[in-house]
Every structure is written in structure tokens, then in C-alpha cells.
């Protein structure tokens, strides 16, 4: 992760055409910007024409809206030719509500034993779960081996529930690295509670991922840039010390009380490298959570 500059890219809106081939034609401009790693938002097939990708239902099929399988391979090959890495955002915490027919094959894919923010939780640790785990782990391996992707971004890992002896994310981490060998891959977690287990080695009960989005930094930056302090910005001041602390110590909240959630937030950071904490000022979630969906340049001054 050291030294990477990540660009979050939605194939459908990156160009007027909204295709893999059209996106490939713009890669040189991203290279000139200093980008080193492209994070492609989810492309698993979904019903309809427009989708962010987080309601995908056919996990093994790139959406035909963006092009066919060969077009995706051309896009990744073109990125590699420019020295750009490509990681794919994958969603293993739920499936979309429309077009999801897994229950037609088995009731074992889902469970009601856990609360999920987006529908039924995936059954990773209950009766008949080994086959379900294999379905999702093999999907991760498929993207790495078939398309030569350089890693994955794992969406909302806090909603991937597994109380078994080996967490499914730990197994996924191990298996994807095995199939990628001798290449190195990058595995990144989105994790709203900021659970350091994502970064811990497997032998210490962790998932052995390479990085986590640092929401604390984002929230402090938003307060500094816009002055807004409502909702989940309540507990941030946007002052210089917050930025210094985020750079030096990773997360700002490492178990302190968090008024917005009325509970402690975060876990203690110890020996994890600074490069494991990904700093950002906007992403697809945070743009969408504004009233009118504005990007940050529309909410603040150029100087800020």
C-alpha cells in the first residue's frame, strides 16, 4: 500500500459512453494526474441500466452495460501498460433486492440470525454454510485469476458476519493471495466501526488485509472544508490537530465515546503502518449523503 494514490472510478459515469473501452482511452490522463491504483466500483451484473454496483446479483458476470468480458480484460491490460494497478470493489455483505435468485436454488445462502443494513445477511457460519463460503471466496479468486486484477476493495465488512473458528474474510485473504502468487495483490476493507482486526495477521485473529478507509480523516476534513457538524460529523472539529493525529496514529477514535452513536468507537492502533490507513476527502458514499449529491468542490471554497 505504501505510496499508492487511489482513484475511485465508476465505469458507467467516467465517460459519456460508460464502457470499459471508453474508460481505457482516458487512462493516460489519470496517469498524468499521479494516480497509481484504480479502484473500480462494483461491476457484478444487475438488473436495469443504471446502478452504482452495490446491488449486484450475478457476482461472476461483469455487467453487460459496460461491455463484455473481453472488454474488461482490455481495460485492465491497458491500465497495466500505463503502470496503473486495478482493484475491484466487491460486495459480499448482501445481494441486490431485484434479480437475486439464489433462493431458487437453496435457502442456505441467507440467514436471519444477523441484522444487515441492506437486506438479508449472508450465511457464512450457520448450517450448510461451507458451500456458501466457497461460492463467495471462489468469486474473489475468480476476479484475481481470470482478469489479473491487482486486488479487491471489500465493501462494508462490518456486515460480513462469521462467528466460526476462521472468519470468512481471513480465508478469503489467504486464498486470493495464494491464487495470485507470485504477484502481490492489495486487499482493502471498508469498515465503519474501524475494527483493527481487518489489519491483524490471521494468526492473531485478524483478516490480514492491507488497508482500511480512514473515515475519521474524512469526517474531520468535511468539517474543516464545509463547517457542517451534523449527523456523523458531530464528533469532529476539523482542526489541525485532528489531521496531525490521523497521520501519526491512524484512526482518531480508538475506543473513545462517540456521541453520535452513543457508544465507544474504533479500536486501538498499535504497530500497523501508516500506509494501511487510506486518507480521502470524498467517495461515492459521502457524496451521496449530501442533500443534493454535491462533490466537495461545490461545497467549499477553492482555497480550502
| Residue 78 near residue 38 (C-beta atoms within 8 A) | no
Q: What share of the chain is helix, strand, coil (3-state, %, to 5)?
A: 35, 15, 50
Under 8 Å CB-to-CB from 159, ≥6 apart: which residues?
A: 93, 94, 114, 116, 117, 118, 121
**Of 74, 146, 161, 59, residue with least CA distance to 111:** 161
Q: Which residue has the cell 485473504?
A: 173
DSSP 40: E
| Residue 55 near residue 98 (C-beta atoms within 8 A) | yes
Residues designated as active site? 155, 190
CB-facing half-sphere around the CA of 24: CA atoms within 13 A: 17
How far is the C-alpha of 223 from the C-alpha of 227, rounded, in Å?
5
Residue 11 has which C-alpha cell? 465505469
Amino acid at each position: 500500500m505504501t505510496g499508492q494514490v487511489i482513484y475511485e472510478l465508476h465505469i458507467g459515469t467516467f465517460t459519456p459512453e460508460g464502457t470499459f473501452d471508453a474508460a481505457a482511452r482516458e487512462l493516460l490522463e489519470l496517469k498524468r494526474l499521479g494516480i497509481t491504483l484504480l479502484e473500480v466500483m462494483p461491476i457484478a451484473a444487475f438488473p436495469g441500466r443504471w446502478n452504482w454496483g452495490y446491488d449486484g446479483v450475478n457476482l461472476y458476470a461483469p455487467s453487460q452495460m459496460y461491455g463484455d468480458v473481453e472488454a474488461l480484460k482490455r481495460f485492465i491490460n491497458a491500465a497495466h501498460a500505463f503502470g496503473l494497478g486495478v482493484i475491484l470493489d466487491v460486495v459480499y455483505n448482501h445481494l441486490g433486492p431485484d434479480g437475486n435468485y439464489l433462493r431458487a436454488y437453496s435457502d442456505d445462502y441467507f440467514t436471519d440470525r444477523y441484522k444487515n443494513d441492506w437486506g438479508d445477511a449472508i450465511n457464512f457460519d450457520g448450517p450448510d454454510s461451507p458451500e456458501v463460503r466457497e461460492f463467495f471466496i471462489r468469486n474473489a479468486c475468480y476476479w484475481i485469476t481470470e482478469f489479473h486484477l491487482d486486488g479487491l476493495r471489500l465493501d462494508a465488512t462490518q456486515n460480513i458476519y462469521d462467528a466460526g473458528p476462521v472468519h470468512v474474510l481471513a480465508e478469503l485473504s489467504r486464498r486470493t493471495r495464494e491464487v495470485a502468487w507470485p504477484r502481490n495483490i492489495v486487499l482493502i476493507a471498508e469498515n465503519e466501526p474501524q475494527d483493527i482486526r481487518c489489519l491483524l495477521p490471521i494468526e492473531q485473529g485478524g483478516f490480514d488485509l492491507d488497508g482500511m478507509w480512514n473515515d475519521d480523516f474524512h469526517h474531520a476534513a468535511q468539517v474543516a472544508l464545509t463547517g457542517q457538524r451534523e449527523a456523523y460529523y458531530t464528533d469532529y472539529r476539523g482542526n489541525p490537530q485532528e489531521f496531525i493525529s490521523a497521520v501519526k496514529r491512524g484512526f482518531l477514535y480508538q475506543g473513545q465515546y462517540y456521541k453520535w452513536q452513543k457508544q465507544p468507537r474504533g479500536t486501538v492502533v498499535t504497530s500497523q503502518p501508516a500506509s494501511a490507513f487510506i486518507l480521502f476527502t470524498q467517495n461515492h458514499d459521502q457524496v451521496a449523503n449530501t442533500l443534493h449529491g454535491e462533490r466537495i468542490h461545490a461545497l467549499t471554497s477553492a482555497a480550502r
